Amino acid sequence: MLIERLLKVALLGSSWVLYLLLALSVLSFSTMAERWIFFRRRTDDLEALRHELGKKLDASDLDGARTLLEASPSFEARVAAEALRWAPCDPEAIKDIVESELARVKKEVERGLNLLGTLGNNAPFIGLFGTVLGVIIAFHQLGQTGGNTSAMGGVMAGIAEALVATGVGLFVALPAVVAYNLVQKRIGDIEVDAIALTKLLTAHLKANPELRERAREAAARSPRAETETEIGEEPAGAVTAA
């Protein structure tokens, strides 16, 4: 009884599987295009950036280094700029802020990655499901012909059409897998390059006490520090309650 009901569902056809795969392919390629534009807009010449940053730090030019990093569209410069903001602190604090900023960056760059991974893993199975439905229909037609050899050509054509679903499933999955791996590699490159830039900063801070002192002076002169000082000051003429 159950098998007969499932057979009726299977005989409804497998063309809907192809439409589903078509919709998934559009979604997949749209995600890949969005990710490509996203990373393209945030690409910079990191070797030149590292060289210029080193020159600024050698000259103890913190303002110039900050301006240089803020002008770069890259994620690596964004992490290094956040580390530079914490330059007056000890290296452990800088390490913590770098890890915090990298976590925020990783959340942005991983957007859409789950979709690509899911399609890469499951699109072939969706295509295979369509093929199974097509083969069930073809063999059902063969049973209705009563073994008539003249109808075998139509049955074989039905099986060939059913195999198209498997091919379409692979067509959806393979680009998604490639894009998933490329995004993963890009994430790894961002982490490595960001850490390299921040290591350059902390190395200069350790080797040059004057640079750290200038960072502390700049932090003390910042509007935020002045505001905190004003808030903490007691108004003139205030009387302490007994």
pLDDT tens digit sequence for 136-181: 777 766 666 655 655 566 667 667 777 888 888 999 999 999 999 9
H helix intervals, 86-112: 91-109
Read off the pLDDT of each residue in 96-105 and give the average, rounded to a whole number. 90
The pLDDT value recorded for residue 61 is 84
Cβ atoms 241, 114 nearer than 8 A = no
Q: What is the pLDDT of residue 65?
A: 87
Between CA 171 and CA 126 the distance in angstroms is 12
The token duo for 32 is 């890949």
In 3D space, the residue among 131, 113, 112 whose CA is nearest the CA of residue 170 turns out to be 131
> Would you say residue 5 has pLDDT above 70?
no
Report the range of poorest mean pLDDT among 78-87, 162-171, 228-237. Answer: 228-237
CA 85 to chain centroid, in Å, comes to 26
Q: What percent of the chain has pLDDT over 70?
A: 76
Q: What is the pTM of this model?
A: 0.76
pLDDT mean over 7-16: 61
The pLDDT-based confidence of 39 (bands split at 50, 70, 90) is very high
Q: Cα dist. 65→73, 76, 96, 151, 185 in Å?
A: 15, 14, 21, 79, 28
Output the pLDDT for position 178.
94
pLDDT tier, 130 (very low <50, low <70, confident <90, very high otherwise): confident
Place of tokens 């910042």: 222
Q: Calculate the average pLDDT of the chain.
A: 80
The model's pLDDT over 176-196, given as tens digits with 9 standing for 90+, comes to 999 999 999 999 999 999 999
- Judge contact between 56 and 65, C-beta under 8 A: yes
